[in-house]
């Protein structure tokens, strides 16, 4: 019997410097298959995530099958929904494209007369589906969540206040890939075997 192992207790701190914590790429981009592999150059980082971090939610709705006496003898899956939620803390072009979609975020580069100008059009359209990676680290350990096919389906209330950053609270809905998987979670504890 193996005892408890404190090295398996990990925190979900962002891997901000090595790879960027939250990155996305067009569908069809080659996806990583472990926690440390270099990402395809098509992946671009979006910027800072708020201190609320990243929330992964899995909702499996089931129906009960009862026998004649009313006792539940089996549960069957009715639906599955996997979502990730976070708040982007930069009003960067990339973060705004996540929230509203590339077709609804227009930028004019800075000139001698004005800084970079961004216009956002808000309407019923959902942003396009993309591939996503979420990279975390704890010392030598790495955790990577990969979403082969995800779409931002909700932007929660945006607060414009003097005592906090403007945050874009996003919910990413995940869709199954060709293997029927919505989300992949890769963990590398960073403890290499002795030679």
Residue 100 pLDDT > 70: yes
For range 8-20, the mean pLDDT:
68
Residue 112 pLDDT > 70: yes
Give the pLDDT confidence score for residue 9 in this predicted structure: 67
Question: Can you say whether residue 73 is alpha, beta or left, with left for phi > 0 and alpha for psi between -120 and 50 degrees?
Answer: alpha
**Are residues 160 and 166 in contact, defined by beta-carbon separation less than 8 angstroms?**
yes
Structure tokens at 66: 């009862």
Structure tokens at 185: 């979670």
pLDDT tens, position by position, 147-191 = 999 999 999 999 999 999 899 999 999 999 999 999 999 999 887
Buried b / exposed e over 170-195, threshold 16 CB at 10 Å, is bbbbbeebeeeebbbebebbeeeeee
Give the pLDDT confidence score for residue 128 in this predicted structure: 94
Across the chain, what does the average pLDDT equal?
89
pLDDT, greater one: 172 or 17 = 172
CA dist., res. 67 & res. 89, Å (int): 52
Residue 96 pLDDT > 70: yes
What residue ranges do the domains of the chain occupy? Answer: 48-66+77-99+142-195
What predicted TM-score, i.e. pTM, was given to this entire model? 0.85
pLDDT tens, position by position, 21-71 = 899 999 999 999 999 999 999 998 877 888 888 999 988 888 888 889 989
The residues, ordered by sequence, that sit 6+ positions from 48 with a Cβ below 8 Å of its Cβ are: 16, 88, 89, 90
Residue 17 has what DSSP assignment? T
End-to-end CA distance of the chain: 25
For range 69-97, the mean pLDDT:
89
H or E, element range at 96: helix 93-100
Largest CA distance in the chain: 79
State the residue for tokens 């030598």. 140
Q: What is the dihedral of CA 24, 137, 191, 29, to 10 degrees?
A: 0
Residue 12 pLDDT > 80: no
């Amino acid at each position: 019997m193996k005892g408890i192992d404190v090295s398996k207790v990990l925190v979900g701190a962002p891997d901000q410097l090595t790879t960027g914590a939250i990155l996305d790429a067009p569908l069809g981009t080659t996806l990583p298959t472990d926690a440390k592999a270099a990402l395809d150059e098509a992946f671009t980082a979006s910027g800072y995530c708020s201190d609320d971090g990243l929330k992964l939610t899995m909702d499996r709705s089931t129906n009960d099958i009862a026998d004649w006496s009313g006792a539940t003898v089996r549960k069957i899956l009715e639906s599955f929904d996997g979502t990730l939620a976070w708040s982007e803390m930069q009003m960067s072009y990339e973060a705004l494209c996540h929230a509203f979609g590339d077709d609804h975020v227009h930028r004019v580069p800075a000139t001698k007369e004005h800084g970079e100008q961004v216009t956002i059009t808000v309407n019923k359209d959902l942003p396009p589906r993309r591939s996503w990676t979420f990279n975390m680290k704890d010392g030598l350990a790495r955790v990577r969540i990969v979403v082969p096919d995800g779409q931002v389906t909700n932007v929660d209330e945006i607060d414009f206040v003097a005592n906090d950053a403007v945050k874009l609270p996003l919910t990413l809905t995940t869709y199954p890939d060709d293997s029927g998987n919505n989300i992949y979670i890769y963990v590398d504890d960073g403890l290499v075997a002795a030679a």
